[in-house]
Amino acid sequence: MNSSSDANQSGSPPFCLLGSVGYSRSLDTCVLEVVIILFLTVLIIAGNLVVIFVFHCAPLLHHHTTSHFIQTMAYADLLVGVSCLVPSLSLLHYLRGLNEELTCKAFGYMVSVLKSVSMASLACISVDRYIAITRPLSYATLVTPCRLRVCIVLIWVYSALIFLPSFFGWGKPGYHGDIFQWCADSWKTNPGFSTFIAALLYAPAALTVCFTYGSIFRICRQHTREITQRHARFSSQAEGDKGERGERCEGCPDKRYAMVLFRITSVFYVLWMPYILYFLLESAGLYHHKVASFLTTWLAISNSFCNCLIYSLSNSVFRKGLGRLFSPLFPSCLGCMEAKKAPVPIGPRANTQCQV
């Protein structure tokens, strides 16, 4: 902390992970890093607040038990956005009085725990959908509200404990705190701790997701094939169409919902895979670069905003809840949309204007 303050007093630029490219001498700060982090912070906080409020405004979203895990992810991602204010304020020189070592350790640990909660929640969501499709008759007795609450508590406790050894000098949980110079230069990764995290968190979560969704889509293909074969045996085309529609529509909602959850999981791992690969390579001493560390870390953190975007594009019930949430702000637009969807009244005095 003293070395960085002395450097600032001597006129040299402060520590910037992206180097002197993003440094502004007039503002005395790393402008590029501040813009990226503040932009992601605003998106993450706003997006997850929308998800949380929409879940409270749309009771139909509570039809699936996975809504509990999705809300857990939303709260964890919201806390990620709030915690990202710490490096932003530090780059803007508002946290000069705090201990740099303790601040970067606390921030790195907190973000690692919160993202672990999201990863574990995605694995639990995939297991929940697997049970719902493979054991539909006993699902209600296997997945109870009490067991859901216990599972969510265990996710938070497990995530907090698995990264705790880093505070006792065994390795580094991630590069989220490398905005602080002490974290980037003095807090080193440890191959043993990185293997420990990969073996107890990354690998089990990824394998669980791959197995469950692979089984789900294999079952869906099998059901579709059986329906097609059964339809081919029907002598009457009308009777066959009727039977096919009835059987397909029975599994349509679960299949569509599984696809939405699969998109969320896929985007999560696509954005996190560069970070996980860099974490393992850097821990093994094979590759180290500060710019790569910054870009992969904040690419992974940007996933905290993606859930809101995926839901709004994929889930019609979520879009309806979103419209209900913003109806006080845009009453005229929503009134016009409802008027277009409503049937035209029959009568001599039918009013075609939008009533607000």
How far apart, in whole angstroms, are the C-alpha atoms of residue 81 and residue 42? Answer: 7
User: What is the full DSSP assignment across 140-190?
Assistant: HHHS-HHHHHHHHHHHHHHHHHHTGGGGGTS----STTTTSHHHHHT----
Helix (H) or strand (E) holding 30: strand 29-30
pLDDT at 170: 84
Cβ atoms 89, 169 nearer than 8 A: no
pTM score, two decimals? 0.76
**What pLDDT digit, counting tens, does each position of 211-259 carry?**
988 888 888 778 777 777 777 776 555 454 544 444 444 444 556 666 7
**What pLDDT digit, counting tens, does each position of 66-93 carry?**
778 888 888 999 999 998 888 888 777 7
How far apart, in whole angstroms, are the C-alpha atoms of residue 144 and residue 61? Answer: 17
